A and B are shown apart, each in its own frame.
Chain A
């Protein structure tokens, strides 16, 4: 129940209260929003780690990106490049297109011709990787999976320091260009991940489908 009406309340204020009560939103959640929430829940169920566990890894990754490039490994799967994040602080490392032999043009993402040298990564490291630890690149775009949007966005963020200008700006005209932008692919459509300026301990990332002025996905990540 609401608090009782104040007897000293003016007629205008009483009318405002009545209007507010009448403006209650009684429509059910739209089906597209419900589907989106179902996707999010499905992604959460599949998520092997808690966000709290991710934060220090992410922070450490950013601080040690140079050193960790050496430890990064690249796995080519079905013509797509999968850039694994090594457990405990590994960093994504876009590889040279020459190594892929497929249609992947990961050099567009950055560091063309600067593929990380074969490092001392443990042979067991890649075997221990889970699907959540991988970033898939196609045609110079990070593939963002609907069911693990937040995780893919978080992983993709680590590519920003390494991506070249074209990949960072993306090619979506309607995407805000004053934030960090990374070319992406979502449900087979060209897209862009827009990393907003971090505020406090969090950073919002929006996903735009190229040609659309509105983001279709959004998540709050721990600040880098």
Chain B
């Protein structure tokens, strides 16, 4: 039996006054929390701010954890909510729709496909370009849809887990994911036509040379109206 304390034990120790317990807990999960923050906010600067807000909130509100979900689910919920609050506030005071470091990140992003791109510079460039386009398109979605897609499709959490993280009904999560994917499919239509296996079902897609083309950036849509979803907005 491992002597390593569980997440729940560390959180309980923190509430009880152990000065190091929360730090150990956070260190254990910080890379995944960072990843969620980066993908939810769209840039490392806002991600760091959102993660810090979430860290402070989790530290101070640890005694509110009731054990209804896993500690990591609770941590994700606090961090994602902090990031969403940041995004909503930024939407008011900023006008730019795209994250401002996409060019930098596109250069260091890994290839998207598993077609040997890591061994083929051209495929790697195409993969990086698609990744950049995907992230740019993702940044145009309403923040609630974006968070749902990040948690479900990127991070691989179940709809039930994400419903807890986002404090909404499972149906709301599914709806947000569905709408977000549909929207991304429209925004990335031209690029999807380049993807092996996707173009054969798209007889009207124009053949492309594989070079990057800026995706059209639509005006930032209104928040997810979630009509008839039976869950919280």
**Taking beta carbons and an 8 Å cutoff, which residues of A are in contact with B?**
1-3, 10-13, 15-17, 19-30, 33-34, 36-38, 40-41, 44-45, 50-52, 150, 196-197, 199, 202, 204, 214, 218-220
Give every chain B residue within 8 A of A1 (Cβ-Cβ): 156, 158
Using a Cβ cutoff of 8 Å, how many contacts connect chains A and B?
Answer: 135
Other-chain contact of A2, B31, B53, B158, B195 (Cβ < 8 Å):
B158
Which residues of B are interface residues toward A (Cβ below 8 A)? 19, 22-23, 26, 30-31, 34-35, 38-39, 44-45, 47-49, 51-53, 55-56, 59-60, 82, 85-86, 89, 92-93, 109-110, 112-114, 130-131, 134-135, 138, 149, 152-159, 174, 177, 181-182, 184-185, 188-189, 192, 195, 197-198, 201-202
A-side contacts of B113, CB under 8 Å: 22
Instruction: Decide: A19 and B134 in contact? CB cutoff 8 A.
Output: yes
Cβ-defined contact, A3 with B59, below 8 A: no
In the complex the two chains form, is A29's CB within 8 Å of B153's CB?
no
Measured CB to CB, the nearest residue on chain A to B53 is: A220
Q: Are A20 and B112 in contact (CB under 8 A)?
A: no
Query: Once bound together, how far apart are the Cα atoms of A51 and B182, in whole Å?
Result: 42
Known: A13-B185, A40-B52. Is A204-B89 also a contact (CB below 8 A)? Answer: yes
A21 touches B154 (CB 8 A): yes
Task: Tell me how far the C-beta of B86 lies from the nearest C-beta in chain A, rounded to whole angstroms.
Answer: 8
Assuming A12-B189, A28-B31, is B152 touching A2 (CB within 8 A)? yes
Q: Check B185–A10 contact: CB distance below 8 A.
A: yes
Min CB–CB distance A172 → chain B (angstroms): 18
On chain B, the residues within 8 Å of A22 by CB distance are 112-114, 131
**12 additional contacts, CB 8 Å, given A20-B153, A44-B59, A50-B60?**
A17-B153, A20-B138, A21-B154, A22-B113, A24-B156, A33-B47, A37-B30, A41-B22, A41-B23, A202-B85, A204-B86, A220-B85
Q: Which 3 A-B pairs have the closest CB atoms?
A: A20-B153, A25-B35, A12-B185
The answer to whether B52 and A2 have CB atoms under 8 Å apart is no
B154 pairs with A36, CB closer than 8 A: no
